[in-house]
């Protein structure tokens, strides 16, 4: 360590001298943090940064990303600058560091001017090992010039951007303040920049890399597999009852997190669970800050508390023994789902990730996207994120494989532990049905030089002589009536799945259908298609026959809704790419 002109000694300076030849990083890890060895790929990151290089770190929640910047900050000269989006998180981290003897501080909106002035003085005096700063602080010129003076004086050891997915519009947690951080990258020559996140789709990785100018960095992407988590997605029937059954049958007395979409649903569910003997408490942004903090610390401190929460809860929560994470509404994206479920089983012991999926959720999510602020491109990304989540819900194969493939880490074998592995979904060979549908699309394009929407295509397949069919003389087509073996509803289920699988696509804003990415291969018989039996049957089987009529009605609405959504998305794309819309 270099000299620090300070009154307070650095923790690394007061430790007994390390035996010669000992790795400085390992020394800090052992003596300051009390851990024997680095875990996973931490050492790789730490070495690269101590050597002065930039790093992009993608590791799942709980992997230990904090140490990746904390250790280099203590080994290198100067103060480590950490950007962290949540004030509560900052306090926890700073408290833990101070308890370990590290001189840690933060700068955020909760401080009085006096407190802030004291932090600034300590910074300029080189008395701070690690400073945590909220992103909105960094957009102000005064903090920037303060940091310039620190860089020119005692030095900045590392510039770490935690939760860096917040810079990405692909992410589930975009924060405009994060965009301004890009200006700071490279501002202080010789200071390594790090971006860390638990979000790992290739799209997010690419976007955060370019936005933060980290193309030349060392990129460390850890495995995203969480083998101790059992993934289960069930048809939603009566979510509160289903949840209570899950808790009573499998997680009595366990700590758990239940995610719901709205504060209202959070309150109702928490109250209802409490009335039924579960130690449940609510958490959402609408609660008084003190109650929120109290509920969070009860969850962290006491055993067996179930917190019912919106997604406002959980970033940076470090509770190892959360035994289940339940979603009673479908999440907005696979990334969000993975992050939220990743809070289960951080101790490595078996844990459950349970989601109740109703197609009605699609309607609600669609509304959220429509009403969200943001430009068309942002909405398109949100739509694509939701599509991927729906595809995961409708998956007929191993959930874990689907998840890992989504994060760009395909595996060869099924996990044997998720719901689809344990209770294989009843599927049927949909190849011929898909070929019938695809050839109808192709015929219509070739012989009528037009594209048509789902309604007319299903009518043609079913051989129905509707006025529109007769108007276009579709009954002359050789494909007329080739699909009469499947019901209307059956065809809609087939279509929904073929769209989710990329075999068929909605081609324009009129909802006309075209061949998807896999369409040609399916037509040629090179790509077999597996379809699950209509969810309607599965849902009816779960809920008993008296509910099946409502379930069917829900499904009808929802599949229409899914259609509308895809149609709107395609319409945007057609416009953007200048593709002509062939209209009925």
Residues 55-84 contacting Mg ion, CB under 5 A: 65
User: Between 65 and 399, whose beta carbon lies closer to Mg ion?
Assistant: 65
Question: Do the bridges between strand 130-133 and strand 104-107 make them parallel or antiparallel, or are there none, so unpaired?
Answer: parallel
Rounded Cα distance between 25 and 32, Å, is: 10
> What is the x/- site pattern for Mg ion, positions 475-514, by CB under 5 A?
----------------------------------------
DSSP 54-65: -EEEE--TTS-H
Measured from the CB of residue 82, what is the shortest distance to Mg ion in angstroms? 10
Helix axes 376-393, 548-577, angle to 10 degrees: 140
Residues 6+ apart with CB under 8 A from 172: 165, 199, 311, 331, 332, 333, 335, 336, 339, 385
Q: From Mg ion, ligand ADP, none, which one binds at residue 59 (CB under 5 to 8 Å depending on kind)?
A: ligand ADP
Count residues contacting ligand ADP (CB under 6 A)? 14
Residues 6+ apart with CB under 8 A from 102: 11, 32, 70, 74, 129, 130
Number of residues assigned to the chain:
584
Measured from the CB of residue 35, what is the shortest distance to Mg ion in angstroms? 16
61 binds ligand ADP (CB under 6 A): yes
67 binds ligand ADP (CB under 6 A): yes
Residues 165-224 contacting ligand ADP, CB under 6 A: 198
CB 189 within 8 A of CB 104: no
Residues 35-54 contacting ligand ADP, CB under 6 A: 35, 38-39, 42
DSSP 497-538: HHHHHTSEEE-STT-BEEE-TTHHHHHTTSS--EEE--HHHH
Measured from the CB of residue 296, what is the shortest distance to Mg ion in angstroms? 16
How far out from the chain centre does Cα 170 lie? 10
Measured from the CB of residue 71, what is the shortest distance to ligand ADP in angstroms? 9
Q: Whose CA is closest to 174, among 378, 391, 25?
A: 378
Residues 6+ apart with CB under 8 A from 27: 15, 18
> Which of 27, 28, 66, 133 touches ligand ADP (CB under 6 A)?
66
Measured from the CB of residue 194, what is the shortest distance to Mg ion in angstroms? 12
How many other C-beta atoms lie within 10 A of the C-beta of residue 545? 8
Structural Rg of the chain based on CA atoms:
27
CB 82 within 8 A of CB 108: no
Q: From ligand ADP, Mg ion, none, which one binds at residue 12 (CB under 5 to 8 Å depending on kind)?
A: none
314 binds ligand ADP (CB under 6 A): no
Q: From ligand ADP, Mg ion, none, which one binds at residue 39 (CB under 5 to 8 Å depending on kind)?
A: ligand ADP
Measured from the CB of residue 311, what is the shortest distance to ligand ADP in angstroms? 16
User: Between 59 and 504, whose beta carbon lies closer to ligand ADP?
Assistant: 59
160 binds ligand ADP (CB under 6 A): no
> What is the x/- site pattern for ligand ADP, positions 317-346, by CB under 6 A?
-x----------------------------
Measured from the CB of residue 286, what is the shortest distance to Mg ion in angstroms? 25
CB 158 within 8 A of CB 195: no
Q: From Mg ion, ligand ADP, none, which one binds at residue 518 (CB under 5 to 8 Å depending on kind)?
A: none
Name the residue with the smallest CB distance to Mg ion: 65
Return the structure tokens found at 356: 């109740």
Q: From ligand ADP, Mg ion, none, which one binds at residue 318 (CB under 5 to 8 Å depending on kind)?
A: ligand ADP
Beta bridge partners of 146: none
Q: From ligand ADP, Mg ion, none, which one binds at residue 341 (CB under 5 to 8 Å depending on kind)?
A: none
Segment contacting ligand ADP by CB under 6 A, of 60-68, 149-157, 174-182, 502-510: 60-68
CB 127 within 8 A of CB 103: yes
Measured from the CB of residue 349, what is the shortest distance to ligand ADP in angstroms? 15
Segment contacting ligand ADP by CB under 6 A, of 58-66, 178-186, 279-287, 427-435: 58-66
Rounded Cα distance between 326 and 531, Å, is: 26
393 binds ligand ADP (CB under 6 A): no
> What is the x/- site pattern for Mg ion, positions 358-377, by CB under 5 A?
--------------------
| Phi then psi dihedrals of residue 513, to 5 deg | -100, 145
Q: From Mg ion, ligand ADP, none, which one binds at residue 35 (CB under 5 to 8 Å depending on kind)?
A: ligand ADP
542 binds ligand ADP (CB under 6 A): no
DSSP 80-148: EEEE-S-HHHHHHHHHHHHHTT--EEEE-TTS-HHHHHHHHHHHHTT--SEEEE-HHHHTSHHHHHHHH
How many other C-beta atoms lie within 10 A of the C-beta of residue 412? 5
Q: In what side-by-side order are the strands of the sheet with 130-133?
A: 104-107, 130-133, 79-83, 156-161, 193-197, 55-58, 218-221
25 binds ligand ADP (CB under 6 A): no
Return the structure tokens found at 387: 């599509």
Rounded Cα distance between 159 and 175, Å, is: 19
Name the residue with the smallest CB distance to ligand ADP: 64
Measured from the CB of residue 506, what is the shortest distance to ligand ADP in angstroms? 38
Measured from the CB of residue 184, what is the shortest distance to ligand ADP in angstroms? 21
Residues 116-135 contacting Mg ion, CB under 5 A: none
Which residues of this chain interact with Mg ion, rule CB under 5 A?
65
Which residues are near ligand ADP by CB under 6 A? 35, 38-39, 42, 59, 61-67, 198, 318
């Amino acid at each position: 360590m270099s000299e620090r002109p300070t009154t307070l000694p650095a923790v690394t300076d007061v430790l007994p001298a390390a035996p010669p030849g000992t790795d400085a990083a390992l020394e800090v890890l052992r003596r300051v943090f009390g851990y024997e060895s680095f875990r996973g790929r931490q050492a790789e990151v730490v070495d690269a940064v101590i050597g002065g290089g930039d790093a992009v770190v993608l590791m799942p929640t709980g992997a230990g990303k904090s140490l990746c910047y904390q250790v280099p900050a203590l080994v290198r000269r100067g103060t480590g600058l950490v950007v962290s989006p949540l004030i509560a998180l900052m306090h926890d981290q700073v408290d833990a560091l101070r308890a370990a003897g590290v001189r840690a501080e933060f700068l955020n909106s909760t401080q009085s001017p006096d407190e802030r002035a004291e932090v600034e003085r300590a910074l300029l005096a080189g008395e701070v090992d690690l400073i945590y700063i909220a992103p909105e602080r960094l957009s102000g010129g005064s903090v920037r010039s303060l940091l310039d003076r620190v860089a020119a004086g005692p030095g900045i050891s590392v510039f770490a951007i935690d939760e860096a997915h917040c810079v990405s519009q692909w992410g589930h947690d975009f924060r405009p303040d994060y965009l301004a951080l890009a200006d700071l990258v490279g501002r202080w020559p010789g200071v390594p920049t790090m971006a860390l996140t638990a979000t790992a789709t290739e799209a997010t990785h690419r976007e955060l890399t370019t936005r933060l100018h980290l193309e030349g960095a060392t990129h460390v992407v850890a495995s995203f597999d969480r083998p101790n988590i059992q993934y289960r997605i069930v048809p939603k029937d009566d979510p509160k009852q289903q949840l209570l059954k899950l808790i009573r049958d499998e997680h009595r007395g366990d700590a758990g997190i239940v995610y719901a979409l709205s504060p209202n649903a959070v309150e109702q569910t928490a109250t209802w669970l409490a009335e039924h003997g579960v130690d449940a408490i609510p958490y959402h942004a609408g609660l008084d800050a003190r109650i929120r903090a109290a509920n969070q610390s009860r969850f962290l401190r006491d055993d067996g508390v179930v917190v019912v929460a919106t997604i406002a809860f959980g970033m940076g929560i470090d509770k190892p023994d959360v035994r289940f994470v339940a979603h009673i509404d479908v999440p907005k994206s696979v990334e969000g789902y993975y992050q939220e479920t990743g809070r289960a089983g951080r101790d490595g012991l078996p844990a459950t990730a349970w989601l109740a999926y109703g197609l009605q959720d699609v309607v609600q999510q669609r509304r959220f996207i429509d009403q969200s602020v943001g430009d068309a491109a942002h909405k398109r990304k949100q739509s694509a994120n939701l599509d991927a989540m729906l595809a995961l819900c409708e998956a007929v194969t191993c959930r874990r494989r689907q998840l890992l493939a989504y994060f760009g880490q395909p595996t060869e074998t099924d996990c044997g532990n998720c719901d689809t592995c344990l209770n294989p979904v009843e599927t049927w060979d949909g190849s011929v049905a898909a070929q019938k549908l695809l050839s109808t699309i192709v015929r219509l394009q070739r012989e009528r030089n037009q594209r048509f929407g789902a309604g007319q295509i299903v009518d043609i397949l079913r051989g129905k002589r509707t006025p529109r069919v007769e108007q276009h003389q579709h009954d002359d087509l050789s494909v007329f009536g080739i699909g009469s073996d499947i019901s209307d509803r059956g065809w809609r289920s087939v279509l929904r799945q073929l769209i989710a699988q990329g075999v068929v696509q909605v081609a324009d804003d009129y909802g006309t259908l075209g061949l998807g990415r896999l369409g040609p291969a399916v037509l040629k018989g090179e790509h077999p298609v597996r379809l699950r039996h209509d969810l309607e049957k599965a849902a009816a089987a779960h809920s008993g026959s008296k509910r099946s009529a409502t379930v069917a009605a829900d499904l009808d609405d929802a599949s229409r809704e899914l259609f509308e959504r895809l149609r709107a998305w395609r319409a945007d794309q057609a416009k953007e790419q200048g593709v002509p819309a062939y209209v009925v």
